[in-house]
């Protein structure tokens, strides 16, 4: 490969990188994090609140439920409580 071709390719790549950096805003200085740009976008939005409620319900469906104690026919628990002194 000729050095002229390589130099042209490197120059083209450098130009592309500079263009991409400019689009991202990293060349000119600090850019705000993406979450700060969208914070509050869905404030007081009933559809968003419903989506969050349904997501929470779905996640909670994977949590194990506590076991229920079985009771005897007379209504007492099978487990004895410790005796008081």
Q: Whole-angstrom Cα distance, residue 27 to residue 20? A: 9
18-68 per-position pLDDT tens digit: 998 888 775 556 677 888 888 999 999 999 999 999 999 999 999 998 888
pLDDT band at 71 (very low <50, low <70, confident <90, very high): confident
């Amino acid at each position: 490969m000729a050095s002229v071709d390589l130099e042209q390719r490197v120059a083209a790549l450098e130009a592309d990188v500079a263009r991409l950096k400019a689009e991202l805003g990293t060349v000119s200085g600090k850019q705000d994090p993406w979450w700060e740009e969208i914070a509050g976008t869905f404030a007081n939005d009933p559809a968003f609140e419903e989506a969050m409620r349904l997501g929470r319900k779905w996640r909670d469906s994977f949590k194990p439920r506590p076991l229920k104690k079985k009771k005897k026919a007379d209504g007492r628990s099978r487990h004895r409580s410790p005796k008081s002194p």
